[in-house]
């Protein structure tokens, strides 16, 4: 039982990161019907930007640890949001009226470009977040060990996910995004600036991905320029598992994927955890091809 609870806590921690990244995939797909394969690299760049700010500035000494980490996450989110906006303007907007395959090829090209740029800028070796930035506080309850970093990751991810859900479901801006997701032409007839909505999607998604990148860097301490592909693939899987185009589905899919992965690592083998997760995904899609929550057309994003 102790092993189960510990792996559950580990799984929810990693799953919260997957969920934040999966939101970027699902929002772009919901509005543009495009799989943004470059999104994983934006997540990776968020981790690198957070690392660079940490080691290049004196924020750690000038501010309390919590405030310094918040500033670092916000700076990484802002930087990657600007990059996401640039990617939309350069790589996707000129192809809005092209067929989907052309846009997918463009997304793959952007992904390779960003990955190689990161390798040239930060080098091919692993980079490690400084130890002082990671809170070394752990609790033990009935033999179950939980760290402060896990609690912080879950808290930050939960705040961001609930904030996004509120904006999408309870504000006029969210209504405009949902209308654009349903039909671009009808949204234009209603006076919605569809291009601005698409730009906004490419700001929100990469910003969430950057926050996830910093959190994951703090959790595992090590980052690498190839991490965007592996974690991006898992986040994309989480989006499919929950029902791509569905925001709550991406959240549920991310948490479920992380939990299954950690349970597989705990009870089977760390080497087989990915095979275990993808086997469950295949079974799920055979039974329910639209994912756990499905694609709710009227509410999709």
Quote the CA–CA distance of 168 and 146 in Å, as a whole number. 33
**pLDDT reading at 66 higher than 80:** no
Residues in the chain: 301
Residue among 86, 58, 85 nearest 71 (CA): 58
pLDDT at site 138: 82
pLDDT in tens, 116-157: 999 999 999 999 988 777 777 888 877 778 888 889 999 999
Maximum distance among all alpha carbons in the chain? 60
**pLDDT reading at 63 higher than 70:** yes
- What is the overall mean pLDDT for the chain? 87
pLDDT in tens, 4-37: 888 888 899 999 999 999 999 999 988 888 888 8
Output the pTM of the full model: 0.91
pLDDT at site 157: 92
Residue 115 half-sphere exposure toward CB, CA atoms < 13 A: 19
Quote the CA–CA distance of 52 and 54 in Å, as a whole number. 5
Q: Percent of the chain, pLDDT > 90?
A: 46
pLDDT at site 227: 92
Measured from the Cβ of residue 68, the count of other Cβ atoms closer than 10 Å reads: 20
Residue among 152, 183, 178, 171 nearest 245 (CA): 178
Cβ atoms 247, 120 nearer than 8 A? no
Residue among 97, 142, 108, 104 nearest 1 (CA): 142
pLDDT at site 198: 93
Burial category of 145 from C-beta neighbours within 10 Å (exposed 0-12, middle 13-18, buried 19 and up): middle
Cβ atoms 252, 242 nearer than 8 A? yes
**pLDDT reading at 204 higher than 90:** yes
């Amino acid at each position: 039982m102790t092993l189960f609870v510990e792996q559950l806590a580990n799984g929810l921690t990693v799953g919260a990161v997957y969920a934040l990244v999966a939101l970027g995939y699902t929002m772009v797909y919901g509005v543009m019907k495009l799989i943004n394969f470059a999104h994983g690299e934006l997540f990776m760049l968020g981790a690198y930007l957070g690392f660079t700010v940490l080691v290049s500035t004196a924020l750690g000494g000038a501010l309390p640890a919590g405030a310094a980490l918040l500033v670092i996450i916000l700076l990484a989110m802002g930087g990657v949001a600007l990059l996401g906006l640039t990617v939309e303007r350069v790589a996707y907007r000129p192809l809005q009226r092209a067929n989907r395959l052309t846009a997918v090829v463009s997304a793959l090209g952007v992904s390779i470009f960003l990955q190689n740029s990161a390798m040239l800028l930060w080098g091919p070796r692993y980079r490690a977040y400084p130890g002082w930035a990671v809170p070394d506080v752990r609790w033990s309850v009935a033999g179950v060990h939980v760290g402060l970093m896990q609690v912080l990751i879950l808290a930050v991810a939960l705040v961001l996910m609930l904030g996004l859900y509120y904006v999408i479901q309870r504000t006029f801006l969210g209504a405009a995004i949902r209308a654009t997701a349903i039909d671009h032409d009808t949204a234009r007839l209603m006076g919605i600036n569809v291009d601005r909505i698409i730009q906004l999607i490419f700001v929100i998604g990469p910003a969430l991905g950057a926050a996830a990148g910093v959190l994951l860097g703090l959790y595992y301490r090590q980052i690498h320029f190839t991490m965007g592909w592996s974690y991006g693939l898992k986040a994309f899987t989480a989006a499919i598992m929950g029902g791509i185009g569905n925001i709550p589905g991406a959240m549920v899919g991310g948490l479920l994927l992380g939990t299954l992965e950690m349970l597989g690592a705990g009870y089977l083998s760390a080497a087989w955890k990915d095979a275990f997760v993808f086997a469950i995904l295949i079974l799920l899609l055979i039974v329910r091809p639209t994912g756990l929550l499905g694609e709710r057309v009227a509410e999709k994003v």
